[in-house]
Amino acid sequence: MRRVALIHNPVSGQHSTRRSAILGDALAVLHSAGVETIELEMSGQGSARAHVEEAVRRGCDTIIACGGDGTVHEILQCLVGTDMALGVLPFGTANALAQNLGLGTSPVKAVRMLLTATPTAVPVGRILYRDSGGGESSRYFTVAAGIGLDALLMSRPDPELKRRFGYALYVFEVIRIWATHSFPLFGAKVLCAGSDERQEEQVSQVLAVRVRSFGGLLGKLAPGASLHNGRLRLVAFKTRSRLRYFRFLIAVLAKRQTFTGGIELVKAISVECAASNGSSETIYVEADGEVLGTLPAKIEVAPQPLTLTLLIPGHARP
């Protein structure tokens, strides 16, 4: 790192009177290490692109995303396929990528780790979906992309309540969805690793995972997942049973999950999903915790050379 653009989201995570002080401390660490730094504040959704373009004009070789997974998600859309490196400072409600990289929850400690981190090209996921205008769109992702209940969960929390109550609000929404949702089925065509034929299934949820660990309560939700491999770890729920969902969640929290009873872990190249014939249910699509649109959708690992150069601390490399 020679010249860094630190892009931060002022509404990411919970409100804190210490937020500005912590950000200042992180900047001080960079300055003391002789790293030239420019600070750019996001002004709303979609503003990341203009900031990345400004960083390029000003000769930056690295972007540090200061926020949660949603902030990282927006910034990485501009960086996939480029040589500019991306670092992460955990400031959001959800910081799964930072946790996976072993950066912890302290932005100041994380920036010290980034000073000695190695820029590493990693494959990224890609999801194609129908946007709110009915058109075909696509996004890259690093953590996970999901179709079904998890996307419904992400669509529920009010942004202001999310900032006030953080992770606790998601726990409340999980309970409410589990108790009231109908768990509608939709079609999924899965291309498994080592196969040339797609398996057709009826599922109520699919989650394509790209990280080894989410940290926190979820931990290693999909064993074998890794930022460094060119495959997806696909968790497929071929059930509408509330009891099976409940048992799986309890097993995940206890770090003892097994993939039985209609819930499978699949090594997949891609999955294509569409609404079942005659269904009037709206099935949502999300990536890295951001609700994107609805079915039909396809999840895959982006083809080469569309990689992301990520700053990875030594202890987190394979």
23, 26, 70: which is closest to 48 by C-alpha? 70
pLDDT of res. 304? 83
Q: According to CATH, what is the number of the domain 3-123+306-316?
A: 3.40.50.10330
pLDDT of res. 154? 87
pLDDT tens by residue, the chain, 318 residues: 899 999 998 876 655 667 788 899 999 999 999 999 999 999 877 789 999 999 999 999 999 999 889 999 999 999 999 999 999 999 887 899 999 999 998 999 999 999 999 999 999 999 999 999 999 999 999 999 999 999 999 887 666 666 666 667 778 888 899 999 999 999 999 999 999 999 999 999 999 999 999 988 888 999 999 999 999 999 999 999 999 999 999 999 899 988 988 999 999 999 999 999 888 889 999 999 999 999 999 999 999 889 999 999 987 777
248-272 as b/e: b if 16+ CB within 10 A = beeebeeeebeeeebbebbebbbbb
Tell me which fold the domain 125-301 belongs to. Tumour Suppressor Smad4 (2.60.200)
pLDDT of res. 15? 54
**DSSP three-state, residue 185:** coil
pLDDT of res. 83? 92
Question: Per residue, what are the HEC states of 237-262?
Answer: ECCCCHHHHHHHHHHHHCCCCCCCCC
> Taking CA 239 as the corner, what is the angle to CA 206 and CA 96, rounded to the nearest 5 degrees?
35
256, 318, 282: which is closest to 129 by C-alpha? 282
Span 140-162, pLDDT tens digits:
999 999 999 999 998 876 666 66
Q: What residue segments make up the domains of the chain, in order of their start?
A: 3-123+306-316, 125-301
pLDDT of res. 165? 65
pLDDT of res. 78? 95
3-8, strands of its sheet edge to edge: 36-41, 3-8, 62-67, 85-90, 307-312, 118-123
pLDDT of res. 72? 95
DSSP output for 129-155: EE-TTS-EEEEEESSEEEEEHHHHHHH
